Amino acid sequence: MTEELRLLIAEDSEDDAALIAREFGRAFNLVWRRTDTAGGLAEALRDAEWDIVVTDYTMPALTGIEAIGVIRAERPSLPVIIVSGVIGEDLAVAAMRAGANDFVLKGNLSRLVPAARRELREAALRRERRIAEERLRRSERKFRNLMESLPIGIAVLNMEREIIEVNHAMTDMLGYASKEELRNAPRESLYFDPRDRARLYQSLASGSSADMEMLLRRKDGGLFWASVNSAIKINEEDDSYIINIVHNITDRKLSEAALLDSEERFRRIFEQNEDAQVIMDCRTARVIDANPAAVALYGYAKEELIDKGVSLFMSERDSSKMDEMLCGAAGAGRLRLERVESLRRDGGRIIASVRGQRVQLEYSDVVYCTIRDITAQVSLQEEARVMQARLIHANKMASLGTLSSGVAHEINNPNNFILSNSSILAAAWRDASGILEAYYRDNGEFSMGGVPYTEMRRLVPELLAGISDGARRVKGIVDGLKDMARTDRDSLDGEADVNAAATAAAAILKHQIGETTDAFSLDLWPSVPRVRGSVQKIEQVLINLIMNALQALPGRCAALSVSTRYDEQGRSVRVTIADEGAGMPPEVIARVTEPFFTTRGGEGGTGLGLAISYSIVKEHGGTLEFASTPGKGTTVSIKLPAIPATPLAVRTTSR
């Protein structure tokens, strides 16, 4: 398949432009346009997308340097080739410095296509490079934002253990005023015991990660306990680096020390801790004690927790998992369950993270467990994953808008030819009909195109009128698509005719309406004032609502009506869309305007139409209300504040 090329030619000579176009036409499926003025060049660049520009160097109304300036101002990255019969070396150098990508002599046009192919390839490479660089910048920004938003210390090191990046939480934790000051600090000074640093990197050398607890030293000499999680990562460029994640665990370490030193001191810490904590027997998994936070978290009395154990609030599966981990803790010394599901006494669901530490007592070993409610955190993570998927889908929907605009543009050009030519043919028929009629009177019946003249003189005007009417309908649909794809500016400051918007929406959806129902009515009430806002946006809302109503209809006999009214008391314009469709239950109506909520996910529904419609109505100062009965249908009402003393529309009713 021949590659398409969109070529813009700046050339005062039509013959030379035709030669250039013919040269390109041998290699490409060519779409081209000629201009020879600065204004015409700028207009052409704004009107359409072009792959490459070929410009003469010397023209009566435009020089090559001026043409390059116009092109670079409008399309900085568009390839430009100078084609001239008189350009010398000095002028060629000046053109290249001004921004031309190449020059070709008119006597050597065979160079033109290879030069264009080279510049098109290089332009594509430049685009890809810009996209890759922008993606890298976005990724780096996301990484930095993520690092800075976390309350834990994070440091990224190269394999020479030099700090590449560090977050503010780390500098605050270590007591340094700035990241640069921390980078310049001797690494050995951060560790209370230098052997901890050696053990950490020995663990990394023997595997890809390490997890240690150690004493770290602040800048002012103060010490704190830290949990250091280190891992070696490899990026897309195969560069290795070390990520250190540091948690300040001083409080936990002090609590452990207090447990060993004094039962009373442990009791105070245990009872006053805000995290839910339980003490469990390593051998039997029996709950020995529970603090008030655990009682508050689950709603059971301490005696119930001790009597029934974790099976009281954990599922059988998670309870068994807890038993297994406790058995492991008896040998390994620590317990960790990242996510367990449990139930409060009142039936509320809790997602918890469990951390435990083996503690050696005089007569037995116990596990000191901290249970943290991470329900909100897990919910946020799930919402973030869902939102990411929704944003990707929304981006696809935006691309569909761009596609519809392009399709409308491509249809408009041939349709304009049909409109123009049908008018000429109609005029020609009117001129010829007198001659044909005289011939008929003198010679009797004759054939035209295999059809008797007496039949043809009736058919031709009807055929021509049908062509013109069909072309005008196509133009109306195309204009509607272009209006839908156009971004309004300051559109809310204008005055919108709701009746006109309803009429346009019905016209755009005429085919879908005719395919779906035989009982459609459009009832436009008189005395409907204008409203403040965008007629295109109001039309978009009506199209969304009518399409939803059509999709809900069970058959062609089910009715759909669109009506407008003016509420003088409320000084508002009301648009009502009522259908005899499937209807919606209350729980669906409660969520129907939520972004991405849809009951038609399996049929391609995106859940965006009603959310966008609600947003548009809201920004117009109006309301969008739903009333529905399952099995009987749905009525949607839009109320928009009217502009006082505006011209009134004439009532129209159509079916």
Walk across the sheet containing 572-579 and list its strands: 623-629, 633-641, 572-579, 559-567, 519-524, 652-654
| Burial tier of 510 (Cβ tally within 10 Å: 0-12, 13-18, 19+) | middle
- Report pLDDT digits (tens) over 349-401: 888 888 887 777 666 778 878 888 888 888 787 666 656 654 654 565 556 55
pLDDT at 490: 43
- Cα–Cα distance between 462 and 475 in angstroms, integer? 20
pLDDT at 425: 87
The pair of structure tokens assigned to 442 is: 């003198």
| Domains 4-129 and 253-373 belong to one CATH topology | no
**Could you give the C-alpha distances from 446 to 462, 464, 634, in angstroms and in order?**
20, 21, 61
- Nearest one of 607, 611, 605 to 624, comparing CA atoms: 611
- Report pLDDT digits (tens) over 545-585: 998 899 889 999 999 999 999 988 888 999 999 999 989 89
pLDDT at 387: 62
Question: Structural domain boundaries of the chain?
Answer: 4-129, 150-248, 253-373, 379-483, 491-654
- Report pLDDT digits (tens) over 108-153: 888 899 989 998 898 888 888 888 778 877 876 776 777 778 888 8
In the CATH hierarchy, which top-level class contains the domain 491-654? alpha beta
3-state secondary structure of 318: helix
Q: Which residue has the higher pLDDT, 289 or 8?
A: 8
**Could you give the C-alpha distances from 38 to 44, 55, 489, in angstroms and in order?**
10, 11, 28
Question: For the CA atoms of 42, 484, 405, 37, what is the dihedral angle to 10 degrees?
Answer: -10
pLDDT at 491: 61
3-state secondary structure of 592: coil
pLDDT at 332: 52
- Report pLDDT digits (tens) over 598-645: 776 555 565 667 878 888 899 889 999 999 999 899 999 999 999 876
- Cα–Cα distance between 623 and 101 in angstroms, integer? 56
pLDDT at 489: 43
Buried b (16+ CB within 10 A) or exposed e, 123-158: beeeeeeeeeeeeeeeeeeeeeeebeeeeebbbbbe
Return the percentage of the chain with pLDDT > 90, whole number. 21
- Report pLDDT digits (tens) over 187-213: 788 888 888 888 888 888 777 788 889
pLDDT at 382: 67
Buried b (16+ CB within 10 A) or exposed e, 569-585: eeebbbbbbbbbbbbbe
The pair of structure tokens assigned to 627 is: 């009333």
Mark out the alpha helices in 333-374 (DSSP H runs).
none
- Cα–Cα distance between 133 and 135 in angstroms, integer? 5
In this model, does residue 283 exceed pLDDT 80?
A: no
What one-character DSSP code corresponds to residue 333? Answer: S
pLDDT at 87: 67
Q: Which long-range contacts (CB under 8 A, 24 or more apart) does 249-256 make?
A: 249/213, 249/225, 250/224, 250/225, 250/226, 252/225, 252/357, 252/370, 253/213, 253/225, 254/225, 256/357, 256/359, 256/368
In this model, does residue 330 exceed pLDDT 50?
A: no
The average confidence (pLDDT) of the chain is 82
Amino acid at the residue 564: T
Write down the CATH superfamily of domain 4-129. Response regulator (3.40.50.2300)
With vertex at residue 182, the alpha carbon angle to CA 180 and CA 187, rounded to the nearest 5 degrees, is 135
pLDDT at 43: 93
What are the φ/ψ torsions at residue 18 (nearest 5 degrees)? -65, -40
- Report pLDDT digits (tens) over 20-77: 999 999 889 999 999 999 999 999 999 999 999 999 988 899 988 999 999 989 988 8
Q: Which residue has the higher pLDDT, 235 or 527?
A: 527
pLDDT at 650: 45
pLDDT at 149: 80
Q: Which residue has the higher pLDDT, 493 or 440?
A: 440
Residue 184, Ramachandran bin (φ over 0: left; ψ between -120 and 50: alpha; else beta) = alpha
In the CATH hierarchy, which top-level class contains the domain 150-248? alpha beta
> Average pLDDT, stretch 246-251?
90
- Report pLDDT digits (tens) over 311-324: 777 777 777 777 77
The pair of structure tokens assigned to 574 is: 């009301």
> Average pLDDT, stretch 87-100?
80
Residue 114 · residue 84 · CB < 8 Å: no
253-373 under CATH 3.30.70.100, yes or no = no
Q: How many helices (H) and strands (E) does the chain have?
A: 20, 25
What pairing do the DSSP bridges indicate for beta strands 276-281 and 287-290?
antiparallel
- Report pLDDT digits (tens) over 457-505: 888 888 888 888 778 767 766 665 665 555 544 467 788 899 989 998 8
Q: Which long-range contacts (CB under 8 A, 24 or more apart) does 608-616 make?
A: 608/394, 608/397, 609/544, 609/547, 609/548, 610/544, 610/545, 610/548, 612/540, 612/544, 613/540, 613/541, 613/544, 613/545, 616/537, 616/538, 616/540, 616/541
- Cα–Cα distance between 643 and 432 in angstroms, integer? 54
| Burial tier of 403 (Cβ tally within 10 Å: 0-12, 13-18, 19+) | exposed
Any residues with CB less than 8 A from the CB of 48 and at least 6 apart, and which?
6, 33
- Nearest one of 16, 74, 83, 35 to 55, comparing CA atoms: 83
